[in-house]
Amino acid sequence: MDGALTIGEVAKRSGTATSALRFYEEQGLIHSERNDSGHRRYPRAVIRRVAFIVFAQRIGLSLEEIRTELAYLPKNRTPDRSDWAKLSSRWTTRIRARIAELQRLQATLTECIGCGCLSLDRCQLANPGDRAARRGPGPRYWMDSEEVMR
């Protein structure tokens, strides 16, 4: 494997722990070959895949979603700019939703901190009588933007 990188070189270049690289490999997200002494050797293109994985996790994609996205990349050649552009273009809706969620969180927290939770009758985070339980499990007010914006 000409120009192959060791796990330490990939870790240093990508800013990712070697344990994370091993985990990504176990999950089938990246691949290495073994040299005669059994050490991992990665193609240089793996740095882009690792960057993609890290970024995808930061915007909230699960490992299964990341695996699905990476499956769209070509297997017989190094992905080029157009391959990555196609992959990332499908994220626009998810990124916009995440931005909206963070803006709602910021607005709610600012109001809550400002009021000191003294106005429970209009607090968007209060849940008297556990009325949110009727909507199902989890953080219902955050999962239902209509409720958060009331």
Ordered by where they begin, the domains of the chain are 7-90 (1.10.1660.10), 99-148 (no CATH)
Q: Are 81 and 88 in contact (CB under 8 A)?
A: no
pLDDT, tens digit, 9 for 90 and up, residues 105-136: 887 776 655 555 555 555 656 666 677 777 77
Q: CA-based angle 147:95:15, to the nearest 5?
A: 125
Question: Per residue in 13-36, pLDDT tens?
Answer: 999 999 999 999 999 999 999 988
Q: What is the pLDDT of residue 133?
A: 75
The CA-to-CA distance between both ends of the chain, in Å, stands at 59
Alpha-carbon distance 63 to 53, whole Å? 8
Instruction: Indicate yes or no: pTM above 0.75.
Output: no
| CA gap 116, 4 in Å, rounded | 57
Please give the torsion angle defined by the CA atoms of residues 121, 123, 124 and 129, in that order, rounded to the nearest 10 degrees.
Answer: -50
In the structure, what pLDDT confidence band is assigned to residue 12 with cuts at 50, 70 and 90? very high
Report yes or no: 91 and 54 within 8 Å, Cβ to Cβ: no
In percent, how much of the chain has pLDDT > 90?
Answer: 29
Q: Is the pLDDT of residue 146 over 50?
A: no
| Token digits of residue 94 | 């998810």
Picking from 44, 11, 46, the residue whose alpha carbon sits closest to that of residue 31 is: 46
